Amino acid sequence: MPGEYLTKQRMISQYNQKRMIRLLGESVKNVLEIGIYNSLFYHLLSSEGYQVTRADFNPDLKPDFVLDLRSDFELPRDTFDAIALFQVLEHIPYEDFEKAIQRLANFTKKYIVISLPYNSSYCSVQFQLSFNRRPRSLLLQVPKFWSTKTYTPDEHYWEIGLKGYPKKRIVRSLENAGLKIRQEYQDPLYPYHYFFILEKL
């Protein structure tokens, strides 16, 4: 059910999805979203003047076009300032993720923004003083490098932090695709989603 899926933690992630796009600056206006689910990201960006094109492998979601990341897909060139994939790439095997990210790097004009699941044990603390508008946070985190069990075993092939998938492996795959990590981010309130802003070299 959509209501059960949109938990407080996922709404935090939705906020960060929009924030990551805004961090790219005013030159980014044309965004391709791959993996649309409930179209909330589309509505959030569209309300701020972004041109958002939606792609998904599921035609029932009525995307602008159907796209299977495991295929030799083609996209319009010199069209999208940024391509966004939030909690999508872990749904395909790792070797397909590497191929897909390399193809996406060829089609974006400049940026790819992704979030991936980070499977860890963590302790997160946030506090805010009445005279300071910005909260302060502390995140202590240990990746579950001893485990191979994803958070949703029936949906995810892999997750950062699990055995065989240390963050350095994911970073190496992104760099091998010709992408530079411009920024990486975890929200201490929901560190399961790990964000990368990637810039085409």
DSSP-H helix ranges across the chain: 2-5, 8-22, 40-46, 94-107, 167-176
Cβ atoms of 61 and 2 within 8 Å: the answer is no
Please give the span between the terminal C-alpha atoms of the chain, in angstroms, as a whole number: 41
Question: Which pLDDT belongs to residue 4?
Answer: 61
pLDDT by 10s per residue, the chain, length 201 = 444 666 788 888 899 999 999 999 999 999 999 998 777 889 999 999 999 999 999 999 999 999 999 999 999 988 999 999 999 999 999 999 999 999 999 999 999 999 999 999 999 988 888 887 788 888 999 999 999 999 999 999 999 999 999 999 999 999 999 999 999 999 999 999 999 999 999
Question: Which pLDDT belongs to residue 1?
Answer: 42
Q: Which domains does the chain have, with CATH numbers?
A: 2-200 (3.40.50.150)
Residue 173: phi and psi, rounded to 5, are -65, -40
Question: Which pLDDT belongs to residue 5?
Answer: 62
Tell me the whole-structure pTM to 2 decimals. Answer: 0.92
Q: Would you tell me how many other CB atoms lie within 10 Å of the CB of residue 87?
A: 19
The three-state secondary structure class of 14 is helix
Q: Counting Cβ atoms within 10 Å, is residue 15 exposed (0-12), middle (13-18) or buried (19+)?
A: middle
Question: Which pLDDT belongs to residue 156?
Answer: 97
Q: Counting Cβ atoms within 10 Å, is residue 36 exposed (0-12), middle (13-18) or buried (19+)?
A: buried
Task: Select from 119, 133, 132, 127 the least CA-distant residue to 189.
Answer: 127
Please provide the DSSP assignment of 23-71 as one string: TT-TT--EEEEE--TTSHHHHHHHTTT-EEEEEES-GGG--SEE--TTS
Question: Which pLDDT belongs to residue 187?
Answer: 94
Question: Which pLDDT belongs to residue 139?
Answer: 92
d(CA 194, CA 184): 7
